[in-house]
Structure 1
């Protein structure tokens, strides 16, 4: 009776700890709007309480497990006493005590009676024709049960004692990986550019890259500041092959072979052609010294009214 009473008290205590932890969690959530410092304190206390409760649960599970195994061994010995007599019982007890503990535990875990011999472990209990077997659990099931207990202890030790990453740390790491994947995808999409989806870039970084490309590949014909040379002046309002981002992009991409300008699509990616085209448009109206005379036709953007004379001197 005392043992049963003690067990009941232990169960009630564990349930009280669990309920108090849940109530405390609700209280911490309600008080979280007070101040960040108090919220952090509540969360810390809650985490420590849950760890303490988890440790008690683990300890109780391990103690119950060893108690169950010892009871299984005693039940086997009692069966021998009832079926084979005192001498066989004493012999079994002595032999069991001489065996290493791990061997005794292994026998208790794997002492499963095969199907053809289940009659020997059939109990007298009968519930509407359903009989009860006094057989051990399958070894694979027992092994999985022990493995989960072991993994639970490892999990508790790694994440709550040894400083393993918290859920927030794992979330931030996953978000960082996602941002990198997003950036990589955007980089691949940057080259899916054609004349149908163009928009001049105003980003300082893109324009800086465009200036570098221009300085490397275009100054020989158009001058260092776009003032013109072999090629036309790029700083005025007149264009031989059309102005605006779409026409400039087409000209750089396809070139003008009959006038000696190569098609840069063989050497530059579409994203780079867009950057250098955007940079060329920023040269409009800069009026550098020694500018070449205007050539071509004044570019009129859509929606603008054309002046009387739009033809430059060639």
Structure 2
């Protein structure tokens, strides 16, 4: 009976880990499983490589012992050859090698025969690393002269400055062209730039003159050259009127046809027409706004 119980307990013990492993394998995705397999293969290859290297090292040492024994060396001599005593390095030895320095103990061997007033000179040449660095600077200087002053491949300081200033000017124009289209009825300002006003005049002639007249004297739309305004005569009001239009009176919205920059230019151009008194001007409409009120915003 006891034997049966022990056998059953053993089977249960072996079955539980197997079931757990099956569930764990099912929970792992195929990609994760491939990663684990690949990682395991890499580790196995590294271990195999180390084992092979250790075996080869041991083989070479055995062969060396055999060859030394064939040469008639005793066991002690072979051990001395195979395991030579390590020489203790002096303090600062590595630093002296890097800088090509000589130890103080070797100073007497560096003395030059002649002396002057009791002063002797050491025959201590310039370190190799310093000479290499010196030669590199000479090569660099020669290359610099050829590139910048002989062949003119590279730009000199002043030419490079002019190139960078030209590039900065191009970037500035690109930025301003983008920034100009960020203007709206709240941020628009009065501008007196001749180029902006000329562009505003061109847009006005093409889009606004059919209703307001060639000289803004007023046709279907109101006269824009007097002091009377239906929807405000400030720069912000004019921009807003052009942008959103006045649907009730037949003026279309222009925000989809003109850019914010174009609307701002037209608004500024309209303000320059104040007091121009064109021929055939339409009678005033709206409320009168004086110069102080127009410039207040």
Q: Once the 2 structures are TM-superposed, how far is the Cα of residue 130 of structure 1 from its aligned partner?
A: 3.1
Distance 2:250 2:242 in 1: 12
- 2:119 matches 1:130: no
| Higher gyration radius (CA) | 2
Corresponding residue for 1:256?
Answer: 246
Q: 1:288 to 1:129 in 2, by over 3 A?
A: closer
RMSD over aligned Cα atoms: 3.4
Q: Deviations over 1:262-296 (max 9, x none)?
A: 11111111111111111111221111121111111
* Structure 1 gaps, min length 5: 1-118, 305-314
Which residue in 2 is equivalent to 1:237? 227
Matches within 5 A, 1:102-117: none
Pairing 1:161–2:131 present = no
Task: Tell me which of 287, 290, 293 is aligned to 1:297.
Answer: 287
Aligned to 1:192: 182
**1:207-226 paired onto structure 2 within 5 Å:** 207-226=197-216
Superposition map of 1:53-72 within 5 A: none
Q: Structure 1 CA distance, aligned partners of 2:234 and 2:214?
A: 21
Tell me by how many angstroms 1:246 deviates: 1.2
Structure 2 distance, partners of 1:244, 1:132, is 80
Q: Is the 8 A contact 1:244 1:301 kept in 2?
A: no
Tell whether 2:278 aligns with 1:288: yes
Distance 1:254 1:262 in 2: 7
Query: Which residue of structure 2 aligns with residue 228 of structure 1?
Result: 218
Deviates more, 1:153-162 or 1:272-281: 153-162
Tell me how far apart the structure 1 counterparts of residues 293 and 233 of structure 2 sit (CA, whole Å). 14
**2:162 and 2:180 mapped to 1: Cα distance?**
27
Distance 1:301 1:209 in 2: 24
Match of 2:19 in 1: none
Q: Structure 2 vs 1, CA of residues 131 and 192 (structure 1 numbering), >3 Å: closer, same or farther?
A: closer
| Contact preservation (8 Å) 1:235, 1:287 | yes
TM-score (norm 2): 0.52
CA shift in 2, pair 1:157/1:241, >3 Å: same
Give secondary structure in 1 for the equivalent of 2:255. Answer: helix
Task: Give the distance between the partners of 2:259 and 2:285, measured in 1 at CA.
Answer: 28
Q: How many residues end up aligned between the 2 structures?
A: 178
Structure 1 runs (4+) deviating above 6 angstroms are 131-135, 144-149
Q: CA 1:191 to 1:132, structure 2 compared with 1: closer, same or farther past 3 Å?
A: closer
Confirm whether residue 247 of structure 1 aligns to residue 247 of structure 2: no
CA displacement at 1:221 relative to structure 2: 0.5
Q: How far is the alpha carbon of 1:132 from its aligned partner? A: 8.3
Mind listing any 5+ residue stretches in structure 2 that lack a counterpart? 1-83, 101-128
Ranked by relative contact order (alpha carbons within 8 Å, sequence separation 6 or more), the top structure is: 2
Shift in CA distance, 218/127, structure 1 to aligned 2, threshold 3 Å: same
